[in-house]
Amino acid sequence: MDWNTKLVSINSNEGKWKLILITGVFVFIFTNIFEPFGIYNSEDKSGFEIFLEINIAIIGVVSSLTFSQFFIRKVFRLYSFTYLNIAFWFILESIIIGLVWTLLTTLIDDSSPLFFDLWLSNALESIFLIGLPYFAAIAYISFSEKNKIVTHLKDQLNKEKIDPDTIISFKEHSNKTKLSLRLVDVLYLESSDNYVVIFYSNGNKLEKTVLRNTIKQLEKELIPYEIIRCHRSYMVNPINISRKEKTAVGLNLFFGKFEKIVVPVSKSYISELEKILA
């Protein structure tokens, strides 16, 4: 194993939540079934009181991990980890969890030991208690992510390529063909109420034709050609995209010899577009 390999699986919000929830669920099951450290052996408290305190502590675990993954990482701009430095990060999170447990214990039980001693003890217990589920969750999330990537690559390889010389017939609302073009010549479509403007290349010239139809209807008809929706008002032919540029609200797309043309991509459409461009 290369210890400097990046753990991209826990960089996304989805990956972070999976890590937090898997760890939290395991801790809940483990503490209530196996009762580590003799946590239910108390003559002064009822089983229900101990159960309540334990689960307040588990909420502390989940809250601490959430704070660590979504706030501290953002503050220190820790956008990715390697196998090596995730171990140090886990120790830091255990220290934070130990601190939260210590504060809760101090509030609940006035007769608790010295604050620092209790903090150290709680941090060590945290390492023991959540270490296995924490790293097991990372392994599981990483495996799932790799499996998705492999599946996507297989799908891409097995997918039949569309012939760029395929002829597309653009029909009006009346079902009458208004324009026929080669797939490779289509650049993008722009909606304007009940009309759609088709922009296409004619040699080195940019041409356009107005179609009496809706972009919603054309979106359904053009699925086989992978001309896809990228905005409320736009559809785009991915095979003619020469580059993309990030913006505050999504992406801007550009088309080779027609560099002055800019087609916007809304955030909600980015993931679908990226799948086709991959």
Place of tokens 């801790």: 27
CATH number at residue 179: 2.40.50.1020
Is the domain of 20 the same as that of 118? yes
Is the domain of 184 the same as that of 110? no
Among 128, 158, 188, residue at a domain's last position: 158
| Domain count across the chain | 2
Domain that holds residue 150: 8-158
Is the domain of 125 the same as that of 172? no
Is the domain of 137 the same as that of 181? no
Closest CA to 238 of 169, 148, 156, 172: 156
pLDDT digits (tens), the chain, 278 positions:
566 777 778 888 888 999 999 999 998 888 888 776 666 666 667 777 778 878 888 899 999 999 999 999 988 888 778 888 898 999 999 999 999 988 887 877 665 568 888 899 889 989 998 999 999 999 898 888 888 777 766 665 555 678 899 999 999 988 899 999 999 999 999 998 889 999 999 988 999 999 999 999 999 899 889 899 999 999 999 999 999 988 888 899 999 889 889 999 998 888 888 877 76
Is the domain of 114 the same as that of 174? no
Q: Is residue 1 part of a domain?
A: no
Bridge-based pairing state of the strands 250-255 and 258-266: antiparallel
Is the domain of 152 the same as that of 188? no
Among 158, 175, 202, residue at a domain's last position: 158
| pTM greater than the 0.75 cutoff | no
